[in-house]
Structure 1
């Protein structure tokens, strides 16, 4: 069965990377959530995608320039009040983990360290995963190859996945050189043939961002490991129709 991972939560219907979006994803039938993490000025691990707060909040500036208390005062759905008027906050990763302890969802954490390197973030995230006992339910992904290798140096048992947005040959072999157990390609950057070859090689494939029904159907039909989608409810209903 193809798993459904909700991209930044149910980002197509709720403000991305907020608790409201993650809770909505669970209610929609997702098997897991995908989220992004960065570090604040006071070294709190926070859940936000962009390097700045400008696009998603009523603030301005780089995430790493704020303390967590300062970030918490921002309205995380400031630019999406047209479909979600309740004020949402930027959550700390520990808040998400506390909630995950009440369910059985998987969690794909993207380390946003390809541009801003956030020294020490890998260990901080892995230590928090261990503290909450979520080692078997978390996948760490990044565009930063060195970061993935470092994660495995810290904990060889952690699941890692290579993010990429340009097509290349035999991606499963490259994943193997990094010790990564998964591939997270941009949807257009991988063929069905390479998806099947990767899975046969023992490497999970979870393309992003799969929002069109025709793409969902195609990936469900080949039993792709998982899809990452903004619309987990749509994907869940379609998967149910196909299965039954």
Structure 2
């Protein structure tokens, strides 16, 4: 199981507290969203603008890191940089899924490479995106890579990807088996109820990315009892 944007029930997604709570709850895997500031620094934010989750307004790409760091979430947190979160997760998380929300340019890439090098994240922090161009742009970073898709990515990508991330209700047992037979792990996003978790377990998916960390862990403990 992967905690989608951390474990943020009652709080704010993609924050230090959300990832601390995920680890404390027993989730060793987390997903997070990365964008780049005007001065090419990787920061955590799902949306193109900061309006929904912070006290500010405007596009992430239109503000400097210093301006971004002045923002506060509704629960009083400062939205973090990627470097901060990688440092938090290093040694505590089994896996992080770093979703690139945009295609990095050359300066963005240098900052991303620096963050990965400093934290050793290439060993445990996979890079993924809905954009094949974004994955191509970060090919120099020796981390696992995965393509996200609402439907089904083509099997011709075998050999280029470590995994595919598919919207859970577009998966089937046969499709899951095809991807795995072609050497790609299958990650399902974002089922949030027991019936979907049970069905996906039957398909043999490798990871379930969910917003319901506590409920999933409780279900998994019960499902694994003899």
TM-score for both structures, normalised by structure 1: 0.85
* Structure 2 counterpart of 1:140: 127
Q: Please, which moves more after superposition, 34-43 or 47-56? A: 34-43
Ranges in structure 1 where 5+ consecutive residues have no aligned partner: 79-85
* Structure 2 counterpart of 1:83: none
- RMSD, aligned CA: 1.8
Q: Which of 7, 19, 38 is residue 10 of structure 1 equivalent to?
A: 7
* Structure 2 counterpart of 1:175: 157
Structure 1 ranges of 4+ moved more than 6 A: none
Shift of 1:158: 1.9
Judge conservation of contact 1:139–1:160 (CA < 8 Å) in 2.
Answer: yes
Give the Cα separation in 2 of the matches to 1:211 and 1:191.
Answer: 17
Shift of 1:173: 1.3
Listed one character per residue, the Cα deviations across residues 138-164 of structure 1 (whole Å, up to 9, x for unaligned) are: 110111112212322x14x42100011
Higher relative contact order (CA 8 A, sep 6+): 1
Q: Does 1:127 align with 2:114?
A: yes
* Structure 2 counterpart of 1:163: 148
Total equivalences in the alignment: 224
* Structure 2 counterpart of 1:82: none
Give the Cα separation in 2 of the matches to 1:26 and 1:174.
Answer: 36
Listed one character per residue, the Cα deviations across residues 162-199 of structure 1 (whole Å, up to 9, x for unaligned) are: 0111x24xx4613326x011101122222222112212
Judge conservation of contact 1:172–1:203 (CA < 8 Å) in 2.
Answer: no
* Structure 1 counterpart of 2:101: 112
Q: 1:199 and 1:24, CA in 2 relative to 1: closer, same or farther beyond 3 A?
A: same
Shift of 1:56: 1.0
Q: In structure 1, the residue corresponding to 2:97 is in which secondary structure?
A: strand
Judge conservation of contact 1:220–1:239 (CA < 8 Å) in 2.
Answer: no
